[in-house]
């Protein structure tokens, strides 16, 4: 009786990937003291500080925090466009293989090891990588995380103030009784609130550091430093709604373009994602300063344009491939005929 091979540990690769991800997170978040003696980490040095420098440079050019966020979104999306095209190709290839994968799953439903072997052969034959569509997309997440710090802590990252200088600014604003939206500045006021108070009381704090400047947080009549509230219905209240709406529209457009290009119906799991992202956008919009919501809206709108562009680009490239193969075949035949005539 032939001995059966022991099934491979299918979760080994997952464990290795998770271990590597944990190691990278530990390295990025490991703390050390900077030149000012303040605690920092590699993530802040490598991503947060450069992004803050770019955002400050854009702000100095346009003198509008809202437009700075929008232009920063455009810049990062353009830089990541090649990765997004690669991700789109990977997702389209995986979606096109779904019928074949379902056939294999049905055929080998009682033999999981054989099913995994056949799936691996199919991926190799078609030249598809299961992670090809996901990995480039995941690289965009650190950008979103890194942008949170310059937006929520502009005194530290956009004005480059030390902790002692920020404390001095806060104490001076409390001393003169500075108010923001009718509320006195206090020891618990956020940096976004302090920035608004600095704008209205610049002369009182300008001597603390030459890096302090009156930053304009108003954009289209909206205070980007304020946090929208469920209880106040105003223009600020609409931002999270618009953010959720653009997230929903982005999911719908992405799904429609994917189904149109591959001819394969998306799974129910993708339908859940269609509603999950708008709900997350809504929660973020009512939890964080409006500046982050403006960035989120701009990112969704630019992503919609990119989805249309990348789908059109990939489709046109696919249409040209048979023509190139035909031209190449004709060139080979013509060369062969010339040789035979000689």
pLDDT in tens, 286-340: 887 788 888 889 888 988 888 888 877 777 766 665 555 555 555 556 665 665 6
Taking only the tens place, the pLDDT of each residue in 47-80 is 888 999 999 999 999 988 899 999 998 998 888 8
What angle do the packed helices 290-341 and 141-152 form, to 10 degrees?
A: 150
How far apart, in whole angstroms, are the C-alpha atoms of residue 199 and residue 212?
A: 10
pLDDT at 247 over 60: yes
C-beta of residue 289 within 8 angstroms of C-beta of residue 227: yes
Residues of the chain above pLDDT 90, percent:
13
Query: Which has more confidence, 275 or 169?
Result: 169
Tell me the three-class secondary structure of 81-136, residue by residue. HHHHHHHHHHHHHHHHCHHHHHHHHHHCCCCHHHHHHHHHHHHHHHCCCCCCCCHH
How far apart, in whole angstroms, are the C-alpha atoms of residue 253 and residue 73?
A: 20
How far apart, in whole angstroms, are the C-alpha atoms of residue 342 and residue 332?
A: 16
Taking the model in full, what pTM does it have? 0.73
Query: What are the b/e assignments for 99-115, b being 16+ CB within 10 Å?
Result: eeeeebeeebeeeeeeb
Mean pLDDT over 84-96 rounds to 72
Whole-number pLDDT of residue 151: 82
**Alpha helices, H only, 108-234:** 112-126, 135-138, 141-152, 154-157, 163-175, 191-200, 202-205
Mean pLDDT over 132-148 rounds to 67
Least confident of 102-111, 116-125, 193-202, 325-334: 325-334
When pLDDT is cut at 50, 70 and 90, the band that residue 155 belongs to is very high
Q: Which helix (H) or strand (E) holds 183?
A: strand 183-184
Query: What are the b/e assignments for 117-126, b being 16+ CB within 10 Å?
Result: ebbeeebeee
**Alpha helices, H only, the chain:** 12-29, 42-43, 49-62, 65-79, 81-96, 98-107, 112-126, 135-138, 141-152, 154-157, 163-175, 191-200, 202-205, 235-262, 268-285, 290-341
Whole-number pLDDT of residue 53: 92
**Tokens, residue 281:** 């956008």
Least confident of 6-10, 86-90, 91-95, 254-258: 6-10
Q: What angle do CA 291, 297, 302 make, to 5 degrees?
A: 125
Largest CA distance in the chain: 98
How far apart, in whole angstroms, are the C-alpha atoms of residue 216 and residue 149?
A: 18
């Amino acid at each position: 009786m032939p001995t059966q091979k022991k099934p491979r540990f299918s979760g080994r690769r997952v464990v290795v990937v998770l271990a590597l991800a944990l190691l990278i997170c530990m390295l990025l978040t490991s703390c050390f003291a900077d030149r000012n003696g303040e605690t920092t980490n590699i993530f802040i040095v490598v991503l947060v500080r450069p992004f803050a420098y770019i955002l400050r440079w854009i702000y100095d050019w346009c003198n509008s925090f809202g437009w700075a966020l929008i232009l920063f979104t455009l810049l990062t999306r353009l830089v990541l466009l090649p990765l997004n095209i690669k991700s789109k190709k990977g997702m389209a290839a995986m979606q096109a293989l779904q019928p074949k994968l379902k056939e294999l799953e049905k055929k080998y439903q009682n033999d999981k090891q054989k099913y995994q072997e056949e799936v691996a052969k199919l991926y190799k034959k078609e030249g598809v990588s299961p992670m090809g569509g996901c990995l480039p997309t995941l690289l965009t997440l650190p950008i979103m995380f890194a942008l949170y710090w310059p937006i929520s802590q502009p005194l530290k990252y956009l004005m480059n103030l030390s902790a002692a200088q920020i404390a001095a600014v806060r104490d001076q604003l409390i001393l003169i009784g500075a108010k923001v939206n009718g509320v006195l500045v206090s020891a618990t006021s956020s940096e976004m609130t302090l920035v608004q108070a600095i704008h209205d009381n610049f002369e009182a704090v300008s001597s603390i550091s030459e890096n302090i400047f009156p930053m304009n947080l108003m954009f289209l009549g909206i205070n980007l430093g304020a946090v929208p509230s469920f209880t106040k219905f105003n223009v600020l209240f609409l931002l999270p709604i618009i953010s959720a709406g653009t997230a929903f529209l982005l999911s719908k457009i992405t799904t429609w373009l994917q189904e149109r290009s591959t001819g394969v119906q998306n799974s129910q799991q993708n339908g859940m994602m269609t509603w999950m992202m708008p709900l997350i956008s809504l929660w973020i919009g009512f939890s964080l300063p409006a500046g982050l919501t403006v960035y989120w809206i701009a990112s969704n709108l630019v992503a919609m344009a990119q989805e249309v562009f990348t789908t059109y680009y990939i489709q046109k490239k696919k249409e040209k491939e048979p023509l190139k193969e035909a031209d190449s075949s004709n060139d080979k035949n013509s060369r062969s005929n010339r040789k035979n005539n000689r």
